[in-house]
């Protein structure tokens, strides 16, 4: 019996020694959290570079400033070719403009006036008849009348001073030229696809002629003949009182 017990004990020791060792399981690793979603950058507006501002050359600046420095009043004959071949006589002082109309033949004495007084500040036009040989007739005297219901825009035209104030900084000086027996400087520039040539009086800074050529080759010429400066008084551009 004692022998049998020893055999059983030895067998148990043998079985325990031969049993496979338990494999240790690795510790569970924490699952990494998903990265937080990053906001998607929205494309901003494409920056636009500011266009360079043209700089007026010293020579052009000096030429264009002469009208403001030297002109108080002026008078000229105006032709606009090819549309207006008969010259009106224009007198300008400040906001007052006197237009002595070309004397057409024949004319109707009853409703005839030969002069229009414009005020560019109030945009008004007054018609008067001032040449007695044409204004006084057997049945009436138009020198005693005033036409106050005239269309301002019908008689209002751009003056040489207004033209010169529209010259851009990009204008090119082409050089000196003698024009209408006056020393002038010719300049040239593009105006919305139209080529503008302008001859500016060297002394007083106002144009004596302007030529505008469109893209289809049509040419309009503004001619300011017999221009005189600084000889007008206020009464010369103001409608006189009715007698």
Q: In what order do the strands lie in the sheet with 172-179?
A: 124-128, 115-119, 96-100, 84-93, 74-81, 219-229, 207-213, 194-201, 182-191, 172-179
pLDDT number for residue 180: 84
* Average pLDDT rounded to a whole number, residues 80-98: 96
Model confidence at 126, pLDDT cuts 50, 70, 90, reads: very high
pLDDT number for residue 15: 53
Spatial separation of the C-alpha atoms in residues 183 and 206, rounded to whole Å: 12
Q: Which CATH number fits domain 58-237: 3.30.1280.10, 2.60.120.680, 2.50.20.10, 3.40.50.300?
A: 2.50.20.10
Look up residue 85 and give its two tokens: 């071949």
* Average pLDDT rounded to a whole number, residues 65-82: 97
| Per-residue pLDDT tens digits for 144-177 | 999 999 999 999 999 999 999 999 999 999 999 9
pLDDT number for residue 133: 93
Residue predicted with more confidence, 19 or 158: 158
Residue with tokens 């080759």: 217
Give the lowest-confidence range in 41-55, 100-114, 133-147, 186-200.
41-55
In contact, 94 and 103? CB cutoff 8 Å = no
pLDDT of residue 25 exceeding 60: no
pLDDT number for residue 55: 72
Residue predicted with more confidence, 50 or 216: 216
| Per-residue pLDDT tens digits for 31-65 | 556 566 566 566 666 666 666 666 779 999 999 99
pLDDT of residue 213 exceeding 60: yes
| pTM of structure | 0.76
pLDDT number for residue 1: 52
Residue predicted with more confidence, 189 or 179: 189
pLDDT of residue 183 exceeding 70: yes
In contact, 142 and 135? CB cutoff 8 Å = yes
pLDDT of residue 22 exceeding 70: no
The mean of the pLDDT values for the chain is: 87
Look up residue 162 and give its two tokens: 């207004």
The percent of residues in the chain predicted with pLDDT above 70, rounded, is 78
Q: How far is CA 167 from the centre of its chain?
A: 10
């Amino acid at each position: 019996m004692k022998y049998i017990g020893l055999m059983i004990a030895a067998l148990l020791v043998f079985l325990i020694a031969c049993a496979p060792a338990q494999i240790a399981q690795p510790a569970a690793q924490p699952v990494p959290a998903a990265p937080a979603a990053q906001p998607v950058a929205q494309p901003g507006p494409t920056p636009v570079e500011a266009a360079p501002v043209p700089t007026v050359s010293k020579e052009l600046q000096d030429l264009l400033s002469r009208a403001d420095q030297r002109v108080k009043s002026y008078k000229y004959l105006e032709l606009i070719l090819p549309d207006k071949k008969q010259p009106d006589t224009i007198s300008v002082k400040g906001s007052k403009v006197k237009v002595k109309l070309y004397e057409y033949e024949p004319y109707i004495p009853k409703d005839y006036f030969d002069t229009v007084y414009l005020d560019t500040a109030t945009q008004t036009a007054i018609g008067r008849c001032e040449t007695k040989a044409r204004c006084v007739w057997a049945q009436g005297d138009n020198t005693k009348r005033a036409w106050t219901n005239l269309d301002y825009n019908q008689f209002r035209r751009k003056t040489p001073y207004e033209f010169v104030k529209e010259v851009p900084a990009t204008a090119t000086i082409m050089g000196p030229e003698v024009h209408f027996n006056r020393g002038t400087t010719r300049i040239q520039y593009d105006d919305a696809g139209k080529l503008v040539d302008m001859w500016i009086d060297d002394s007083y800074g106002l144009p004596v002629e302007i030529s505008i050529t469109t893209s289809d080759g049509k040419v309009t010429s503004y001619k300011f003949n017999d221009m005189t400066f600084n000889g007008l008084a206020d009464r010369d551009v103001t409608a006189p009182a009715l007698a």
